[in-house]
Amino acid sequence: MKIKMQMKDKGRHPYLHMLLRYGLFAAGIVLVSVGLELFLRPNWIVPGGVQGLSIMLAYITEMHMGLFLFLLHLPFVLLTGVRRKDISAWMAWIGLLLLTFATLLLHPVPPVTEHPLAASVAGGLMLGIGTGMMVKYGAHADGVRETAVWLRKKTRLSTAELVTLIHIGILALAGFLFGWEQALYSIISYFLAYCSLQFMLRDHFDLMMVWIRTNHASAVKEKVSEAYGDQAVWVSSPAYSNTSPNELFLIIPRELMTRIQPVLSSADPEVSVIFTPIKPSEAAEYTRR
């Protein structure tokens, strides 16, 4: 199996780039911890995801939210360490430990505001922007998507549908726990966090275009579809319209890059593969119908 990588140049100043990366990573942790401990948690506003579950558990048990952030994120960070053997696994651990420490440190600090609307807006924006900075520079964000991927194997729903249902379930639990008027502020916070996170990751290379050259195209497509379902999206050639029947183009999440290689080799030991990172906006253009 022949494998090639096409990566974009990160510039002529690697040390400056590294310093900027770690600085923004730390700033993201500060924003998330401030948004959670000084805006959302004191007003019992649930932004969805693991953070929302942590806030509800802190309310029920009267324990520190940071403890539940650590415990609920821990399995997914461990999974990241198993799947990735590079710097991103270490960054996931560092991000979790620093976020836990920062939230515990800020816990005694009085909230910035006790107005629920102001808290939901400011906290949601801080959470989304901070999470985007953490994810962009190597940290693990949330376990909702990983949970949805696992559930997808047991249901007929897509990953996106399952992610939506999980967040709806968390927000519904918040409504039962804190009241439906308070749930409205949680929805506002979730919406703003989601939009700001998407804005931060609009140029994030979290997807890979896979160019496959093989003499067994049908077998390759069958193996990949069986292994990954709708996580792997087949597209026509992005370079030219008259694609050779021996060439396949596939978009996958970056985390599947190493795991897809043995799947391809099992269908065709002589397969040749080129991986190219792409932006979500580029992926949308390729898959647009």
pLDDT at 248: 86
pLDDT score of 9: 47
- Single pTM value for the model: 0.68
pLDDT, position 153: 67
Which are the contacts of 122, defined by CB distance < 8 A and separation ≥ 6? 35, 39, 112, 113
Token reading at 260? 């897809």
**pLDDT tens, per residue, the chain with 289 residues:** 555 555 454 445 667 767 877 888 889 899 999 999 999 999 999 998 888 899 999 999 988 998 998 998 888 777 665 555 556 667 778 888 999 999 999 999 999 998 999 999 999 999 999 988 887 766 665 667 667 666 766 777 766 677 788 888 989 998 899 888 888 999 999 999 988 887 877 655 567 888 888 888 888 888 888 887 777 888 865 444 445 667 888 888 776 777 788 888 888 888 888 887 776 656 555 555 4
Annotated domain spans of the chain: 12-201, 207-286
Cα dihedral 213, 215, 221, 226 in deg (nearest 10): -120
State the Cα–Cα distance between residues 188 and 231, nearest whole angstrom.
Answer: 29
177 CB contacts (<8 Å, ≥6 apart)? 56, 59, 60
CATH code given to domain 207-286? 3.30.70.250
pLDDT of residue 138: 61
